[in-house]
Amino acid sequence: MTSAALARPLTNKLRDDLRARFGERFSTAAAVREHHGKDASHHHLAPPEAVVYVRTTDEVADVVHLCAAAKVPVVPFGTGTGLEGGSAAVQGGVCIDLSQMTRILRVSADDLDCTVEAGVTRKQLNQHLRDTGLFFPVDPGADASLGGMAATRASGTNAVRYGTMRENVLSLTVVLADGRIIRTAHRARKSAAGYDLTRLFVGSEGTLGIITEIGLRLYPIPEAIRAAVCAFPSIDAAVAIVVATIQAGVPVARIELLDKVGMEAVNRYAKLDYAVAPTLFFEFHGSTDGVAEQVEIVAALAQENRGGEFRWAESIEARSKLWQARHDAYFAMLALRPGAVVWSTDVCVPISRLPQCIAETTADIEASGLLAPIVGHVGDGNFHLGFVLDPNRSAEFEEAQRVNARMVARALAMDGTCTGEHGIGQGKTEFLIAEHGEAVAVMRAVKRALDPDNIMNPGKILRMN
Amino acid sequence: MTSAALARPLTNKLRDDLRARFGERFSTAAAVREHHGKDASHHHLAPPEAVVYVRTTDEVADVVHLCAAAKVPVVPFGTGTGLEGGSAAVQGGVCIDLSQMTRILRVSADDLDCTVEAGVTRKQLNQHLRDTGLFFPVDPGADASLGGMAATRASGTNAVRYGTMRENVLSLTVVLADGRIIRTAHRARKSAAGYDLTRLFVGSEGTLGIITEIGLRLYPIPEAIRAAVCAFPSIDAAVAIVVATIQAGVPVARIELLDKVGMEAVNRYAKLDYAVAPTLFFEFHGSTDGVAEQVEIVAALAQENRGGEFRWAESIEARSKLWQARHDAYFAMLALRPGAVVWSTDVCVPISRLPQCIAETTADIEASGLLAPIVGHVGDGNFHLGFVLDPNRSAEFEEAQRVNARMVARALAMDGTCTGEHGIGQGKTEFLIAEHGEAVAVMRAVKRALDPDNIMNPGKILRMN
């Protein structure tokens, strides 16, 4: 990679300064570096030159300040569950591991919000909230850190009802490229005061600053929750009901698609006995009567579209099992082929274009001969392919690359986006340009303004060289 | 104003070029310039040196391109209904009047979205949507242009349910400071592709670029809508029920407060006979059963808080009249005192702090001797003061300034914002600094990156000199 040549290597002075400041929480051990050089994606290992385990915003500022003086890259790391190689140190430098910043700083049941440190995971937060009657909805498959989720503008199964991190982050504490610390907003639910720095940093993947604290919206746990699965004779029939549900304005909390291959994988992995057919996973939230009403509308729509019977998960345990099956899709795919790796990619299109986009993509996968189940947060027009690949067969990767490029081109031609929720990372920088054209120049200008030496997670989102 | 000295005056060449390009749609007539030098606020008249009536994005780009070459300011103008002097030409330059850009370019009932030109007003759009079963919810009091609403991050009565322009703008076409045209996003409902330029331009008040087209979310008109007013013995009692409603998670569509003075003004102006007491205006959206359920919960809460009976507006006409009364509050205030002007200001705080913030502000107004009704989108924690002032008495303005400054300081101390929806404009630049501190430096850096010569609506939001 030519850009790597431009990065400044870790100097002895910087190494000494960081070790003096952080002691055992500074490491250059190969195992530690390798652990931080990869995420859950297919991208190559790119270890940082050193790792610092930080515990406070001030410590992050100290690391950045020292690195900035030496013009050495800093790369933030949360749980390493990213899917586009965003936390790999492709230009070397110092990895800032935020996983020890796990304090929940404040929960306000009255204001339905909280503030957490960046290393708090979504499950940790919901566990903590258990007795308050509140929950935080955004749920990417992995138990990701909330800092990482904010940085990648993550979403998940219930974004169709509750929004993504874009809608659910109220404020951020951010360490800038020169070590300054800012807070992007106060706690008011809305504000017309100046530029929306919160939304600028949400989704910036560590390239503009490092998120250390996050203010989040919380929601009352609904009075009633019902979940069900429903099989369909074809993927077209399943997607048709998704479109009809959204267009009818039903405030469905989750509406997820797994194709036939995906269902087979999930059944096998979790020892379940769902029909091996294109399947929708539904969840309805509301009052008891409100949920009954939603169920009635959607069940009628499903019948019109030749859906099977709804199979209900009535107890909390049954519901957890149902959603665990959905969330385990990634591991279920991995298990389909021993020794395989999964390359997960996603696009998002306007809902009216979803049937065609999925149909054409399905045909393309079949023609390619690859194993690549489709799963999707289809209520948002968002779906994923999981290429299940043999790591030793480069031809498979090349074929996956072509199928992926065609899927992105298809989504863009439908006025969609090259990624609904995984981010750009290292994997989609060219697609970003295809999608945004001249607007990428604006992104570059913002990047240069906030990080003139390009030390903040360089090589991600934008190629600056 | 010292900064005015830094602005470049309109050159003869630029004047000739613009006249050659736009003919009669270019004007330097005093009446035209004065009309464009003021909005609906108390801020002083500051006419531009010329006005161009544009009809297309390309025409906007042409004007900006010519002005950029001469380093002359450009100031966008929609309907002139802003409340912080945002469209006044405080550093001279050329006003770009977008009010002739009134085409609704596309409505997709299937995707629940549309694209409009910047001069389309919210009422024009809803009129156009009448037969589709869809509506656009964001409703500042005035019939503002959607471009202006995006530029100021406007909201209104039903933001508590549907969000503000921040949540409802899907994409923007923007003319940058050098005349380049960008589109900030495709039509997918969510995207993790790069920096959130849409949200960066929403609320930037013309200081980073000129918004010429807007992609917007639309919503199905609910099956059932019910509206009611309910009087309370005290403002505390009214606010208590607002807090309880929000905390109970009731998805109320509108929950508006008018204080006693405001109700008196509205009664008198619209010849109504509401009780002269602190009053909440409610609207409930949903299915028939869902609305009945919401009404039951809120009515029970109201009774617990010594509210009066709900007075229902059952017909569409009665409902329109009820909301017209609320939307006319500004004119009703004006009518309270012949020859007066209204200085409208707003803050927004976390909902738990709203009772105290309103109580202290009410006491401060009473002590000041000023006439200043409180109206508020209280479900968001957002409320407004309308100082009704004699334009010839500077002592009144000075007193209003002090009351306003104390209200803003109070809101900031409660972790709120200096403006929930009016924007910074010229009026709140100092409060922006008080609110955001070091983060204002980031805003300045972004501004410099995108508008190095400070020609885009200079003197608004940020003082760059």
CB contact under 8 A, A420 and B287: no
Does residue B172 sit at the A interface (CB-CB below 8 Å)? no
Q: What is the pLDDT of residue B6?
A: 57
In a domain, A388, yes or no: yes
Helix axes A12-22, A57-70, angle to 10 degrees: 170
Same-domain check for residues B291 and B378? no
Nearest C-alpha of chain A: how many angstroms from B285?
12
Instruction: With CB atoms and an 8 Å threshold, state whether A416 touches B187.
Output: yes
Q: Which of B188, B202, B348 sits opposite A417 (nearest CB)?
A: B188
Structure tokens at A245: 């549900």
Cα–Cα distance for residue pair B134/B113, rounded to 1 Å: 9
Describe the strand order of the beta sheet including A254-258 as a list of residue ranges.
Answer: A311-313, A224-231, A279-286, A254-258, A374-377, A382-389, A341-348
Tell me how far CA of residue B289 lies from CA of A291, A294, B135, B278, in angstroms: 11, 11, 21, 29
Hey, is the C-beta of A416 within 8 angstroms of any chain B C-beta? yes
Q: Identify the H or E element spanning B326.
A: helix B316-327
Query: CA-nearest residue of chain A to B345?
Result: A192
Chain A CB contacts of B450 below 8 Å: 442, 445-446
pLDDT-based confidence at A328, cuts 50/70/90? confident
How far B16 CA sits from the closest chain A CA (Å)? 30
Same domain as B214, residue B109: yes
Give the domain CATH number at A83.
3.30.43.10
Q: A155, A191, A414, A463: which to substitute to probe chain B, counting the most B Cβ within 10 Å?
A: A191
Contact criterion met (CB < 8 Å) for A153 and B196: yes
Chain B CB within 8 Å of residue A178 CB: no
Last residue of a domain, one of A283, A308, A330: A330
The residue out of A99, A126, A143 marking a domain boundary is: A99
Inter-CA distances, B202 with A5, B83, B165, B197, B305, Å: 38, 17, 7, 9, 38
Q: What residue spans of A305-428 are helical by DSSP H?
A: 316-327, 329-335, 354-368, 394-413
Q: Are residues A19 and A42 in the same domain?
A: yes
Task: Assess if residue A390 is contained within a domain.
Answer: yes
Q: CB pairs below 8 Å between A and B: how many?
A: 290
Number of structural domains chain A divides into: 4
Contacts of A287 in chain B (CB under 8 A): 290, 293
- Is A461 part of any domain? no
Same domain, B308 and B214: no
Cβ proximity of B75 and B7 under 8 Å: no
Contact A439 B412 (CB under 8 A): no
Instruction: Sort out which chain A residues have CB atoms less than 8 A from B222's CB and list them.
Output: 249
Interchain pair B380, A193: CB under 8 A: no
Out of A167, A197, A428, closest to residue B167 by CB? A167
Q: What are B342-361's pLDDT values in tens digits?
A: 999 999 999 999 999 999 99
Q: How close, in Å, is residue A384 to chain B by CA atoms?
A: 13
Of A298, A330, A362, the domain-final residue: A330
A 126-145 residues with CB < 8 A to B: none
Residues in chain A with CB shorter than 8 Å from the CB of B435 are: 186, 193-194
Does residue A387 sit in the same domain as residue A310?
A: no
For A450, which of B246, B351, B442 is closest by C-beta distance? Answer: B442
CA dist B144 and B390 (Å) reads: 26
Q: Report residues of chain B scoring pLDDT below 50.
A: 1-5
The DSSP secondary-structure symbol of A291 reads H
Residue A258 lies in a domain: yes
What are the contacts of B401-405 at 24+ separation with CB within 8 A? B402/B368, B403/B361, B403/B364, B403/B365, B403/B368, B403/B370, B403/B372, B404/B343, B404/B345, B405/B431
Q: Taking CA atoms, what residue in A is nearest to B220? A: A249
In this structure, the answer to whether residues B126 and B83 fall within a common structural domain is no
pLDDT confidence of residue B62: 98
C-alpha pair distances (Å), B78 with each of B87, B99, B207, B349, B429: 8, 5, 15, 29, 22
**Which residues 6+ apart lie within 8 Å of B19 measured at CB?**
B26
* Chain B residue with the nearest C-alpha to that of A201: B195
Mutation for testing the A interface, residue in B111, B165, B195, B200 having most A CBs under 10 Å: B195
Residue A274 lies in a domain: yes
Instruction: Identify whether residues B138 and B236 lie together within a single domain.
Output: no
A272 & A298 share domain: yes
CA distances from B96 to A171, A381, A433, B7, B62 (A): 34, 37, 30, 17, 11
> Would you call A412 and B186 a contact, using CB atoms and an 8 Å cutoff?
yes
Contacts A189 to B, Cβ<8 Å: 348, 350-351, 380-382
d(CA B210, CA B101): 13
Kindly list the distances between the CA atom of residue B153 and the CA atoms of A214, A230, A294, B158, B424, in Å, as whole numbers in the listed order: 22, 41, 33, 14, 11
Q: Are B387 and B371 in contact, with CB atoms under 8 Å apart?
A: yes
Query: Using CB atoms, which residue from B108, B159, B432 is nearest to A190?
Result: B159
- Residue of A195, A196, A239, A464 best to disrupt the B interface, most CBs of B under 10 A: A195
For residue A7, pLDDT over 70 is answered with no
Q: Is B460 exposed, middle or buried (0-12, 13-18, 19+ CB in 10 A)?
A: buried
pLDDT band at A386 (very low <50, low <70, confident <90, very high): very high
What average pLDDT does this structure show over A54-77? 98
User: Does A203 contact chain B (CB < 8 Å)?
Assistant: yes
A440 is a domain residue:
no
CATH of the domain at A188: 3.30.465.10
Q: What is the mean pLDDT of chain A?
A: 94
Q: Do A188 and B155 touch (CB under 8 A)?
A: no
Does residue B71 belong to the interface with chain A, where contact is any CB pair within 8 Å? no
What's phi and psi for B342, nearest 5 deg? -110, 125
The type of residue at A443 is M
Interface of B with A in 312-331 (CB under 8 A): none
What's the pLDDT at B3?
Answer: 43
Between CA A264 and CA A260 the distance in angstroms is: 6
Same domain, A138 and A207: yes
Contacts of A176 in chain B (CB under 8 A): 442
Question: Stretch A14-39: mean pLDDT, rounded?
Answer: 97
Record: contact A461-B190, CB cut-off 8 A:
no
Tokens of B201: 């331009």
- Judge whether B313 lies within some domain: yes
Residues in chain B with CB shorter than 8 Å from the CB of A456 are none
How far is Cα B48 from Cα B73, in angstroms, rounded to an integer? 9
Of A113, A421, A446, the CB nearest to B190: A421
Looking at the structure, tell me whether residues B392 and B292 fall in a common domain. Answer: no
Distance CA B416, CA B184 (A): 29
Q: Helix %, strand %, coil % for chain B, to 5?
A: 40, 20, 40
Please give the average per-residue pLDDT across A112-129, as a whole number: 98
CATH at B364: 3.30.70.2740
d(CA A280, nearest CA chain B) in Å: 20
Pair (B149, B211) in one structural domain? yes
**CATH number of the domain within which A307 lies:** 3.30.70.2190
DSSP state of B119: T
Q: How far is B275 from chain A (nearest CA, A)?
A: 30
Residue B7: the pLDDT is 67
**A129-155 pLDDT tens trace:** 999 999 999 999 899 999 999 999 999
Cβ distance of B419 and A351 shorter than 8 Å = no
Q: Are residues A211 and A231 in the same domain?
A: no
Q: Each residue of A210-235: pLDDT tens digit?
A: 999 999 999 999 999 999 999 999 99
For residue A282, give the 3-state DSSP assignment. Answer: strand
Q: Tell me if B446 and A448 make a contact (CB, 8 A cut-off).
A: no
The CA distance from A258 to A266, in Å, is: 9
* CA distance to partner chain A, nearest, from residue B460 (Å): 10
Which residue, B157, B158, B134, B137, is CA-closest to B146?
B137
**Residues 213-242 of chain B whose Cβ lies under 8 A from any Cβ of chain A:** 219-220, 222
Position A5 pLDDT exceeds 70 = no
A424: its two tokens: 């750009």
Distances (CA, A) of A93 to A36, A47, A63, A250, B92: 12, 9, 11, 49, 48
CA angle B430, B38, B16 (to 5 degrees): 110
> Does B164 contact A at CB distance below 8 Å?
yes
The C-alpha atoms of residue B283 and residue B393 are separated, in whole angstroms, by 39
Whether ipTM tops 0.90, in short, is yes
**Per-window interface: B 362-381 vs A, CB < 8 A:** 380-381
- Cβ–Cβ under 8 Å, residues B200 and A200: yes
Q: How far apart are CA A172 and CA A60, in angstroms?
A: 14
Q: Which domain holds residue B60?
A: 2-100
Closest-CA distance, B264 to chain A, in angstroms, reads 29
A420 and B108 within 8 Å at the Cβ level: the answer is no
Non-local CB neighbours of B189 within 8 Å, separated by 6+ positions:
A348, A350, A351, A380, A381, A382, B170
Q: Which residues in chain A have Cβ-Cβ distances shorter than 8 Å to B419?
A: 191-193
Find chain B residues with C-beta within 8 A of A418's C-beta.
193
Task: Tell whether A448 is covered by a domain.
Answer: no
Q: Which of B191, B285, B408 is the best residue to mutate to test the A interface, defined by the most A CB atoms within 10 Å of its own CB?
A: B191
